[in-house]
Homo-oligomer: A and B are copies of this chain.
């Protein structure tokens, strides 16, 4: 995959932890030797909610391990998928406080290793157990609560395309705080909010307006294409998918 991306002129790759198998240093070196960068690492363990590990100690240990793996890869961005409402609580505000506390405790450890932490808001469809941040404003509120220079936000088209206040929020509050921009599209007839993402151009997201919005907040880093698509794109030939991403990126994004 590294060689295939480099051959097509991709600028970098973001990895998932499950792909590393302890080889993060080797993988990072190989990406750079191919002329690309490691854009980021997905993702921390859930830091709150019913899918998180059972104890604070276990959650924080795995959080620190994810930071070590990001540093091993030589990337400066680790994405945080927060987890949902803490069992026994109602709504998301109590969980946002727990989240802010855990991120604040890990931020100095990450800073010492050159790693920035990107809080990613997820679509409200996943707010039962996968996120307590549903909008960029939620994520920026937690950034403010943490107050660490190496904590910012990641903006994923799939999760925020519907938010009619997004451009205003990013322009007013996100200057210099966007650490990643994730691309795909929202299909009009989405059947599964986790694994039915669309290729750019096949859906209803206003991708040009979204790009303008992240650039208005000063983000000019790489755009990460992230298309979970169990029934469609994951079944295509990988080279065809990489070619399609390039042509759609140029045409639509």
Q: A125-B123, A125-B124 are in contact. Are A91 and B134 (CB under 8 A)?
A: no
A204 part of interface (Cβ distance < 8 Å)? yes
Q: Mark A82-108, 1 if CB is under 8 A from B, else 0.
A: 001100011111001000000000000
CA distance A125 to B186 in the complex (A): 10
Q: Is the CB of A186 within 8 A of B123?
A: no
Q: Nearest chain-B residue to A165 (Cβ)?
A: B137
**Which stretch of A28-36, A205-213, A237-245 is in the interface?**
A205-213
A230 part of interface (Cβ distance < 8 Å)? no
Q: A84-B204, A85-B204, A162-B134 are in contact. Are A129 and B188 (CB under 8 A)?
A: yes
Q: Which of B93, B128, B204 is in CB contact (< 8 Å) with A164? A: B93
Task: Give chain A's interface residue range (CB within 8 Å of chain B).
Answer: 35 or more
From A49, A124, A161, residue with most partner B Cβ within 10 Å? A124
Give the chain B neighbours of A129 by CB distance below 8 A: 188-189
A residues contacting B by CB (< 8 A) are 49-50, 84-85, 89-93, 96, 123-125, 127-129, 134-135, 137-138, 141, 161-165, 186-190, 193, 203-209
> What are 29 A-B contacts with C-beta separation under 8 Å?
A49-B188, A50-B188, A50-B189, A84-B204, A85-B188, A85-B204, A90-B207, A90-B209, A91-B161, A91-B204, A91-B205, A91-B206, A92-B162, A92-B164, A96-B164, A123-B124, A123-B125, A125-B190, A125-B193, A127-B161, A127-B204, A128-B187, A128-B204, A134-B164, A135-B164, A137-B164, A138-B164, A141-B164, A193-B193
